[in-house]
């Protein structure tokens, strides 16, 4: 059996963990929207350090332990065919006020 590589689109969204949409961290909302849109796969990475050119959201976490770092970067990465990934664009254009998104095509194997 020979692997068949296909063109896949990767959407990567960079936000801070303190950026909220309604009463929920936006990275969780993005992930929920991706599932609703039928996007094949996604991963959320909580980073250990990062910076941005502008202030991100406002801290909303409760019960903060003073030894915990706050407002860490979060990266959401979604992979599927371009037309499925594009289903998420309206949500991002409307609600991603403090963050950045990148899109690129790559070759990948998906069984």
DSSP character at residue 26? H
* pLDDT one digit per residue (tens) for the chain, 111 residues: 677 889 999 999 999 998 999 999 999 999 999 999 999 999 999 998 887 766 554 445 454 455 455 678 999 999 999 999 999 999 999 999 989 999 999 998 866
Residue 74: closest CA among 3, 26, 23, 21: 26
Assign a CATH topology to domain 8-52+62-73+82-106.
Alpha-Beta Plaits (3.30.70)
pLDDT of residue 54: 62
End-to-end distance of the chain based on CA atoms, in angstroms? 12
Task: Determine the pLDDT at residue 53.
Answer: 67
CA distance 70 to 52: 14
Structure tokens at 81: 């065919």
């Amino acid at each position: 059996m020979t692997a068949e590589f296909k063109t896949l689109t990767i959407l990567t969204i960079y936000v801070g963990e303190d950026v909220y949409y309604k009463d929920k961290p936006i990275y969780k909302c993005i992930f929920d929207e991706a599932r609703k849109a039928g996007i094949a796969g996604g991963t959320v990475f909580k980073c250990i350090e990062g910076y941005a050119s502008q202030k991100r959201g406002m801290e909303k976490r409760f019960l903060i332990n003073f030894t915990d770092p706050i407002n860490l970067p979060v990266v959401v990465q979604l992979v599927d065919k371009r037309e499925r990934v594009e289903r998420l664009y309206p949500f991002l254009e409307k609600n991603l006020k403090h963050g950045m998104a990148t899109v690129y095509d790559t070759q990948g194997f998906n069984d």
